[in-house]
Structure 1
Amino acid sequence: MNINASASKAQVVITGAGPTGLMLAAELRLGGVDVVVVERRASGTVGESRAPGINARSVEILTQRGLGAKFLRLGKVLPGVLFSGIPMAPQDLDPEWPSAMILPQHQTERILTAHAVELGARFEWSTSVVDLRQDDRGVEVTVAGPSGPGTIHADYLVGADGGHSAVRRLCEVPFPGDDPVSWWVVGDVALDFPPDGRGVFGRNERIGTYQISRAEPGWFRLSLMRATPPVDRTAPVTLDELREVMRDGLGTDYGLSGARWMSRFSDGFRQITQYRQGRVFLAGDAGHTHSPIGGQGLNLGIQDAVNLGWKLAAVVNGTAPDALLDTYHQERHPIAATVLELTKAQTALIKPGAQNDALRAVVSEMLAVPETCLHLSGILSGLDLRYPLGDVHPLLGRRMPNLTLSTDQGATEVFDLLRSARPLLINFGADGLAATPPAWADRVDYIQAELPASSWHLPVFGEVPACDAVFVRPDGYIAWVNPAGMSLAYDTLVAALKQWVGHTRRGAITA
């Protein structure tokens, strides 16, 4: 597409080709939406670890889209969960706890870019959004690229352009929160004399908890607090600054000889008040910024994208009402608010001082209590998430486990059935449910399977009663349940389909 001073069209424009924007582009393409990704950089992230932590729920989501094996082949599976650097081992309490992993962000972006391109997403690199206007018919996005200025006319715009989001600024969205009081430097560095030869995760009275860990062959991930604030916190980090901060806080720079990426972060925390602004949406760091302690940013963004993608595709395609898009804010805003509060606590615990040392000791003891370990590990891993979809059954609103199903076509796993990002109705033996109700037959996949067990195990929650049938949204969350042994609640199934799929008969949309 050549924007050069001429109008272009797309059903959805996404600004930002980070993990959030890339995941959303792929989700929209699975829904058949024409999508253009606008990215100010000339290419994706190159040689940066940046946001390497991929939590257990994100690994599950990637597996649902057929990408899990690629990530696990390249990444390093984590043996546990860290709370401000304090290890927790939920797998010791629950052997079925799914794995999290570490993978440098440049590799994550490479996989997701290839995935989006394969599905047909279009990209405009070296292109920035400079203005936008919207009305009840669409959004006019003014951009500046290598060929000059141009305009893209779209049905919707999604700002996935990071903590300094241009889309957020142009929409004048309130962004309340806490101003920073402390700063850290971070980067991928080359060290001639790394501590212990392999790196270290340490703590001292001057800068608190610090990290020097091997990111990839030849490169170490460095993260440590500045003992004094930076003179200019907006200035790029330099090697000289890294040496100064290391010597000041650690007494040595361990032979720092180079860096492929350097940055800084702070303990500022902010979240927008509304994720939806008419036909404009904000996702990932564009909607919530916080310190990276705890590794939640990338995971929140990927899960924002998967929540929004199928909903936006259904509305763009005219098979669901506009009100469906309001549930994006309703569901995702509280999740990020909870994570931000937990991240504040973790960030406070990494700071130096005798009082914080004492608090860390107390917290370490608390984290050894099984109930506390499972509760906090559940939040950090994303496995405890429950959307407010009702209380008829404990599975409602929770993640569908990756059960191995026995069908007439052989054994299959639930996650394999979600690869196309379509709604899924699974019948484990409910009488009178031989297929998807006719009005939704073209929109909702149906499978008949044997009931795997009388109860299902969910990490964090333990054993929950099994069901005779479930309706699973494209993002993998259960939106309708027919409890085992109960007569088919056909009316509640129809209500769930109306709410989440919207299409009742050809050409008709219900609110």
Structure 2
Amino acid sequence: MTSNHDVVVVGAGPTGLMLACELRLAGVDVLVLDRLAEPDLTTKAGSITLPTAAALDRRGLLPDLVAAQERALAQFRAFLATRTGPAAGPRTPPPKFLGHFGALMLDGTLLDESDPAFAGHGPAADVGLVPQQELEALLTARATSLGVEIRRSTPVTAFEPDADGVTISASDERLRAGWLVGCDGGRSEIRKNAGFDFPGTPPQITAWQAVAEMTGTEGLRPGWNRSARGVYAFGPMPGRILVVEFSGSPADRDTPVTPDELQGAIRRVTGVDVTVTGMSSITRFTDNARQATDYRRGRVLLAGDAAHVHSPFGGQGLNLGIGDAVNLGWKLAAVVRGWAPDGLLDTYTAERHPVGARVLAWTRAQIGIMRSDPWADALRDLVADLANTTDGTTYLVKQLSGATIRYPLAGTHPLIGFIAPDLALADGSRLAEHCVDGTGVLVDLTGDPAVRAAAAGYPGRVTLVTTTSTDRPGLAGLLVRPDGVVAWAADRDEPDPAEGLSAALRTWFGAPLSEPAPRRSEPVSVRSR
């Protein structure tokens, strides 16, 4: 028997789950397949960036993020409370968690928070310390609530794309889908079997990240540290240790990590006689850095680590994958629902590939200053001097936080291409709260009849919000894509503020309709505030 679906997503990690949520929100029949019987609970990424927090806020998940961050901070405080001796470090969490660049800890007191890149993001900007395990559990619950079917213990063994879709063999079942999306990680079978080019650079390191029971840790310094033999990070959660050796790739990446292997790496890099007595989480990784030249081949697409791999330093991998999912979800849904303008799906690679390439470059740069040789020492000293200034710290944080991501969209307004500011509106709501149902949002701040007339042709695709705001008083209006990116904006002092709006609507939402054609079974009304 063959079952049919609009989209099959392979991989139930954060990228695959986020993509499935976005597709299902748009009324698409999506099935998620994962080879694992249970979610992978290995400790991985420990934080989310601004674009990720903003994307989840736009879907109504901010309270869940805040709660997850509070749990992470409680663990951080518990870790600090256990520290004694000369390497104890601080006893309270830093005033603002900024992370690190190449194991150089960034000082929150040097950050210029008045920089325009940090302005207008609302309460999402205060969320960052959310571990990947928490985020994955949150997205699993959301996907389930939306009606997404997630099948575990179901590896994809073969697939055959054609002009109209993809035939998929998964376990003992045969599936038919209009589209297949590989979100199945850095060793993606979907990428390999579909024939995507995946050029890049070979690994320089072997690294281990674990949550372990250890004795003799009094000599370990909290945070990121560099020695003559490598790099290690201790904390911010009890038992968490990360160790990096510049020894190239391990001989066999598939061999399970033993306590003796982890203990040996810790002792070599730190010079401290730590004894590992148990492990609740352990992973071994390298800095293999590669990127697919295109994220689409016909009816097969890639997202997340399936499309790009790199070292995890700087906390970019998880967030890069979420960004892919948010960008792809609404575009693929538009194609499935039949209203996508020509070339819409091609903009997925065009917009996300440069972002991925930038992350690969930044992770390679961090490997460069983490090495232990005279050339790396000199470069590291230079970067450290720059980072120890307000301008240097602010620059690094802007890049690491994702606040500077801008897509090359048509239009001259300075907001176009960036994540929309989270405007505080006259009725007490925030702009993010009007994005929950996943449509585009057209905000009219002046009551312009031309804006209302333009929105009338897009029922179910674009929600009109007519209101006022004291934020950005010169702004007349803006069009926000479902992924939160500003596609059109105008100021009040422009001769024709609505100029360019119709073109932007056609570019991103297709031709206007002569009568309502909502994308779900019930009509989506135009709201005025």
Out of 429, 437, 453, the residue aligned to residue 412 of structure 1 is 429
Q: Which residue of 1 aligns with 2:233?
A: 211
Which of these residues, 142, 161, 171, is aligned with residue 169 of structure 2? 142
State whether residues 35 and 121 of structure 1, in contact with CA within 8 Å, keep that contact through their aligned partners in structure 2.
Answer: yes
d(CA) in 2 for partners of 1:184 and 1:222? 7
Paired residues of 1:396 and 1:479 also in contact (CA < 8 A): yes
Q: Distance in 1 between matches of 2:109 and 2:298?
A: 41
CA distance in 2: counterparts of 1:230 and 1:442, whole angstroms: 52
Structure 1, unaligned runs of 5 or more: 1-5, 456-465
8 Å contact kept, 2:215–2:274: yes
Q: Displacement, 1:298? A: 0.2
Q: 1:178 aligns with which of 201, 219, 244?
A: 201
Partner of 1:117: helix, strand, or coil? helix
Deviation at 1:248, TM superposition (A): 2.2
> Residues 181 and 142 from structure 1, CA distance in 2 versus in 1: closer, same or farther, beyond 3 angstroms?
same
Single out whichever of 196-205 and 109-118 deviates more from structure 2.
196-205
1:190-269 paired onto structure 2 within 5 Å: 190-195=213-218, 199-207=222-230, 209-215=231-237, 217=238, 219-225=239-245, 230-269=250-289
Instruction: Provide the secondary structure at the position in 1 that maps to 2:197.
Output: coil
The question of whether the paired residues in 2 share the 8 Å contact of 1:275 and 1:329 is answered with yes
CA apart distance, 1:379: 1.8
Paired residue for 1:462? none
Amino acid at match of 1:121: V
Question: 1:79, 1:89 within 8 Å by CA — same for their partners in 2?
Answer: yes
Deviation at 1:226, TM superposition (A): 5.7
| Residue equivalent to 1:505 | 513
Once the two structures are superposed, residues 120-149 of structure 1 have per-residue CA deviations (whole angstroms, 9 ceiling, x without a partner) of 1001100111111112211111111xxxx2
- Cα distance, 1:322 vs structure 2: 5.2
Secondary structure of 1:181 counterpart:
coil
CA distance in 2, matches of 1:88, 1:250: 23
Three-state SS of the structure 1 residue aligned to 2:17 is: helix
1:450 shift after superposition: 1.4
Structure 2 contact 50–128 (Cα < 8 Å) conserved: yes
SS in 2 for 1:396: coil
Pair 1:90–1:58, CA change in 2 (3 A): farther
- 1:490 Cα deviation after fit: 4.1
What value does the CA root-mean-square deviation take over the aligned residues? Answer: 2.3
Alignment-derived partner of residue 321 in structure 1: 341
- Is the alpha carbon distance of 1:229 and 1:399 closer, same or farther for their aligned partners in structure 2, counting shifts above 3 Å? closer
- Equivalent position amino acid for 2:328 in 1: L
1:470 maps to which residue?
A: 478
The structure carrying a bigger strand percent of its residues is 1
Distance 1:228 1:289, change over 3 A: closer
One-letter identity of the residue aligned with 1:84:
G
> Would you say 1:290 and 2:283 are equivalent positions?
no
Give the alignment's TM-score, normalised by structure 1: 0.89
SS of 2:449's equivalent in the other structure is coil
Q: Is the 8 A contact 1:200 1:211 kept in 2?
A: yes
CA distance in structure 2 between the partners assigned to 1:430 and 1:485 by the alignment: 15
Q: Report the counterpart of residue 428 of structure 1 in structure 2.
A: 445
Specify the alignment match of 1:461 in structure 2: none
Q: Give 1:445's aligned residue.
A: 463
**1:197 Cα offset (Å):** 8.1
Q: CA 1:418/1:211 → structure 2, altered by over 3 Å: closer, same or farther?
A: same
| SS, match of residue 439 in structure 1 | coil
CA distance in 2, matches of 1:508, 1:280: 31
Quick one: structure 1 residues 301 and 91, their matched pair in 2 at CA, closer, same or farther if it must change by over 3 Å? farther
Q: Does the 8 Å contact 2:204/2:246 carry over to 1?
A: no
**Which of the numbers 4, 7, 12 marks the counterpart of 1:12?**
7
The residue correspondences of 1:30-41 to structure 2 (distance < 5 A) are 30-41=25-36
- What TM-score results when the alignment is normalised by the length of structure 2? 0.86
CA contact (8 A) 2:203 2:248 kept: no
Q: Which structure ranks higher in relative contact order (CA pairs < 8 Å, sequence separation ≥ 6)? A: 2
Which one of 366, 380, 383 corresponds to residue 400 of structure 2? 380
Deviations 1:236-282 (A, max 9, x none): 32222112212222234523111122222222210000001111110
Maintained 8 Å contact 1:160/1:283: yes
CA distance in 2, matches of 1:434, 1:490: 6
The answer to whether the Cα contact below 8 Å between 1:29 and 1:119 also exists between their aligned partners in 2 is: yes
- Alignment-derived partner of residue 22 in structure 1: 17
SS of residue in 1 equivalent to 2:63: helix
Q: Is the 8 A contact 2:217 2:272 kept in 1?
A: no
Q: Which amino acid aligns with 1:22?
A: L
Which stretch shows the higher mean deviation, 245-254 or 419-428? 245-254
Q: Deviation digits for residues 384-411 of structure 1, max 9, x if unmatched?
A: 01111134111111111111111xxx21
Which residue is equivalent to 2:504? 496
Once residues 353 and 55 of structure 1 are traced to their aligned partners in structure 2, the CA distance between those partners, rounded to angstroms, is: 32
2:137 is equivalent to residue 114 of structure 1 = no
- Structure-2 separation of matches of 1:26 and 1:253: 47
Give how far 1:8 is off. 1.0
Of residues 57, 61, 76, the one that matches 1:63 is 57
Amino acid at match of 1:82: H
Secondary structure of 1:52's counterpart equals: coil
Q: Do 2:458 and 2:516's aligned partners in 1 also have CA atoms closer than 8 Å?
A: no
SS in 1 for 2:233: strand
Q: Distance in 1 between matches of 2:385 and 2:112?
A: 16
Q: Measure the CA separation in 2 of the matches of 1:496 and 1:91.
A: 40
Q: Which residue type is aligned with residue 317 of structure 2?
A: G
Q: Deviations over 1:80-121 (max 9, x none)?
A: 242112215388311556235233322211111001110110
Is 1:341 the counterpart of 2:358? The answer is no
Aligned in 2, Cα 1:304/1:88: closer, same or farther, shift over 3 Å?
Answer: farther
Q: Residues 53, 333 of structure 1: CA spacing in aligned structure 2 closer, same or farther, 3 A cutoff?
A: same
Q: Report the number of matched residues.
A: 483
